[in-house]
Amino acid sequence: MAAPPVSKAAVLTAWMPAMLAGIVSAAVLFAVAELAAAFFGPAASPFGSVGAAVVELSPPWLTEFAISTFATADKLVLFISMGIGATILAAGIGVLALRNWTAGALAVAALGVGMVVCVLTRAGAVPADAIPTALGTAVGLFCLRWLIRLLPGPAAPAAGAGADSDAATQDSDQGRRTFLATAGLMAGAAVVMGIAAGAVSAARNGARQVREALGLPAPARPAKPLPEGVQAPVDGAIPFVTPNAQFYRIDTALFVPSVDPADWQLRVHGLVEEDFSIGFQDLLAADLEESYTTLTCVSNEVGGGLAGNARWLGYPLRELLARARPLAEADMVLSTSIDGFTASTPLAVLTDARNALLAIGMNGEPLPLEHGFPVRMVVPGLYGYVSATKWVVDLEVTRFADKTAYWTSRGWSDHGPIKTASRIDVPRAGARVAAGRTAFAGTAWAQHRGISKVQVQLDDGDWADAKLAAEASVDTWRQWYVVRDDVSAGQHRLRVRAWDGDGKLQTETPAPPAPDGASGWHSIEFTAD
Ligand SMILES: Nc1nc2c(c(=O)[nH]1)N[C@H]1C(S)=C(S)[C@@H](COP(=O)(O)O)O[C@H]1N2
Ligand SMILES: [Mo]
């Protein structure tokens, strides 16, 4: 007998319970695994580990797109996409399990194994970290089995239609209610376990509590006080020192690593005459130095906000490396974070007179967790991806010819000096200002070379010198401003360009961030009336 034609909509409706069974089971799987993982350690989280693997395996263009498009929301976007992907996959597995239980169960098992592989290949993972994912997969599979059993078999949706006796209808109503109640209970349990997982991992985050109780020692060499007038006297100019809470954050860490200073150790080794390790107490007891340095991300677009200036407290890397005595053939230091991120920094910039620091303090506070607590690197003059390793635990003195780092093995330039850049902060692009007397202001940077001149151009007028605010040091950004009396009503364009301390004009030709930093002159449009 030929099956009656079945519409797509009817098939979907018939599959709905199976899809729901798949999704609810997946929710239980992740909730159980994440709750158990909260007791194991950050590497044990299956969701986090799959996310880390996605980041790790993503083609460079995708990672770069994500960072430049979503900037600091890139992690949220990743998790939401993963959630959507997991939901679709779980729905599919539910249908598969209904039609053929063995195939469905094998699919779940295969995904479980895949997640365990992600967990075990993660930086800092130990074999026991596989337990939460294995446990979650087992419980999820059990729930799926249970829910599928409550469903009628995979009969064609329209079969038997019209032939239902009253008893059969009642039966199937009863069955539907049992199915929905069971699925609802499981979903509720998943939500409760998910909330508990969040609470447990927050409570077990020792680093946060230790950080709050930590007092920083006074620097042996305090920062040179900021000269008067580093701040442009214009409303809306950004703060010269970026408050920690406003400081941009860029990293590949899906969950901020939690490092207890009591367990923190830094190993210094490689092409050195002496290798050694230091602990956090050694740093607290050392002669610390404090200085202002402006950090910049290589992914910053022309006019973008991925730059920040802070007062960093730390131990000079040149002194740490002097103790290790690098061999003559060495030309690079590969720094590694506890989460596996690496950066390759020219040895020369870590051993010259600049204030390259193993930093523990930011603007008078211990480093915020997301900025590398307890210890990070800060190197004036280089983009963060080749220098600013957060949660740093290992320094290997080596050679550019022998090793590559996280981003340099993904096609980014291996030396990352910061390009001269200038930005208009006032007015904001698209703003409306009063015609007549109008102030323009902004920021320019060329770390370790300094800024010697800034010019602006209004519409097609002549380029005119801006006033430069005071310079704190060549390692920090510098503010500029211009007050004009003659801004006519209407639509305008403003452009800016800067010269570095060597008298070199910043590149006019636009270039995207990859592979060694964006270039081009920033311009904005605004309306005066
Ligand atoms: N462990 C770790 N450190 C890291 C990164 C990272 O992904 N992981 N990103 C680097 C990059 S690309 C930049 S621009 C700076 C940003 O430092 P911030 O987040 O404190 O502003 O950190 C650097 N240090
Ligand atoms: Mo960066």
Q: Is 221 within a domain?
A: no
Q: What is the 251 CA–ligand 1 centroid distance (Å)?
A: 5
Give the position of tokens 């950050």. Answer: 42
Q: What number is the average pLDDT over the span 404-413?
A: 92
Pocket-testing residue among 390, 394, 419, ligand 1, by greatest number of atoms within 8 A of Cβ = 390
Res 1: pLDDT: 43
* Whether residue 291 has pLDDT greater than 90: yes
Cα of 298 to ligand 1 centre, how many Å?
A: 10
Shared-domain flag, residues 284 and 426: no
Ligand 1 atom closest to 377 (CA): 24
Which atom of ligand 1 has the smallest separation from the CA of 247? 21
Residue 163 has pLDDT above 60, yes or no: no
Residues 492 and 403 reside in one and the same domain: no
The pLDDT, as a whole number, for residue 54 is 86
| Distance in angstroms (rounded) separating the CA atoms of residues 407 and 404 | 8
Residue 57 belongs to some domain of the structure:
yes
State the distance from the centre of ligand 2 to the C-alpha of 504, rounded, in angstroms.
Answer: 24
| Tally of structural domains, the chain | 3
pLDDT at position 2 over 70: no
Q: Are residues 280 and 384 in the same domain?
A: yes
Is 518 among the domain residues? Answer: yes
The predicted-structure confidence for 318-346, as pLDDT tens digits, reads as follows 999 999 999 999 999 999 999 889 999 99
Distances (CA, A) of 354 to 290, 318, 345, 351: 12, 9, 14, 8
- CATH number of the domain enclosing 484: 2.60.40.650
Taking residues 441-451, report their average pLDDT: 98
- 59 and 148: one domain? yes
Check pLDDT > 60 for residue 514: yes
Among residues 226, 227, 228, 237, the alpha carbon closest in space to that of 481 is found at 237
For ligand 1, whether the C-beta of 410 sits within 6 Å is: no
Domain CATH for 260? 3.90.420.10
Q: Which domain holds residue 298?
A: 244-410
Answer yes or no: do 402 and 439 share one domain.
no
Do 380 and 443 lie in one domain? The reply is no
> Is residue 373, in this structure, part of any structural domain at all?
yes
The answer to whether residues 300 and 401 belong to one domain is yes
On the question of pLDDT at 404 being above 70, the answer is: yes
Q: How do residues 149-161 score in pLDDT, each as one tens digit?
A: 999 865 544 444 4
412 Cβ inside 6 Å of ligand 1 = no
Give the per-residue pLDDT at 158.
44
* Model pLDDT for residues 235-267, shown as the tens digit of each residue: 999 999 999 999 999 998 888 888 999 999 999
- Whether residue 438 sits in one domain with residue 367: no
Would you tell me the crossing angle of helices 46-57 and 8-40 to the nearest 10 degrees? 100
In this prediction, residue 372 carries a pLDDT of: 97
Please check whether residue 311 is in contact with residue 362, taking contact to mean a CB–CB distance below 8 angstroms.
yes
Is 233 inside a domain boundary?
no
- Flag whether 209 is in a domain: no
Residue 393 lies in a domain: yes
Residues 281 and 132 occupy one common structural domain: no
Ligand 1 pocket check for 248: Cβ under 6 Å? yes
Comparing CA positions, the residue from 265, 347, 343 lying closest to residue 298 is 343
Same domain, 86 and 64: yes
Identify which of 78, 242, 251, 337 to mutate to test ligand 1's pocket (most ligand atoms within 8 A of the CB).
Answer: 251
| Residue 161: predicted pLDDT | 44
The reported pLDDT for the residue numbered 154 is 58
Angle at 289 between CA 288 and CA 291, to 5 degrees: 150
What pLDDT was estimated at residue 157? 46
Are 465 and 356 within one domain?
A: no
Verify that 78 and 139 share a domain, yes or no.
yes
224 located within any domain: no
Task: Specify which residues 523 forms β-bridges with.
Answer: 495
